[in-house]
C-alpha cells in the first residue's frame, strides 16, 4: 500500500509584524555621523521637546546603537526602543523624563 504525501504548501510565511513605534515629537537625523556626534545632537536637543515626549535619533554608526541606551541610563531618560530602518541603521527612540 502506497503512502499518501501531504500536499506541500506554497504559501510564503508572513513576515513578522513590525513593533509599533511611539510617535516622535522630534527626529534627529544623525545618519552618516560617527559617535559621539549622535549623542551630542541628542543631548543638545532633548530639552526642546515637552516632558514625556519621544525623540527619535536616526543613526547608522554601530556605536550609537549601544551608546545612546547607555546615555539614557546615565542621564535618567528612558530608552523606548531601537527600530531597524529599511535603508540601514536604526531609529533609536528616547523618552524625555525631566
24, 28, 30, 35: the active-site residue? 35
Distance CA 19, CA 14 (A): 15
72 is known as an active-site residue: no
What angle separates helix 37-45 from helix 62-75, to the nearest 10 degrees?
Answer: 40
Neighbouring C-alpha atoms within 13 Å toward the C-beta of 93: 17
Annotated active-site positions, please?
35
Amino acid at each position: 500500500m502506497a503512502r499518501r504525501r501531504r500536499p506541500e504548501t506554497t504559501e510564503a510565511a508572513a513576515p513578522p509584524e513590525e513593533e509599533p513605534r511611539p510617535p516622535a515629537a522630534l527626529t534627529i537625523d544623525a545618519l552618516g555621523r560617527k559617535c559621539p556626534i549622535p549623542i551630542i545632537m541628542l543631548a543638545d536637543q532633548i530639552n526642546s521637546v515637552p516632558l514625556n515626549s519621544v525623540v527619535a535619533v536616526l543613526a547608522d554608526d554601530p556605536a550609537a546603537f549601544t551608546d545612546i541606551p547607555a546615555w539614557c541610563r546615565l542621564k535618567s531618560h528612558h530608552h523606548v526602543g531601537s527600530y531597524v530602518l529599511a535603508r540601514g541603521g536604526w531609529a533609536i527612540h528616547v523618552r524625555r523624563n525631566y
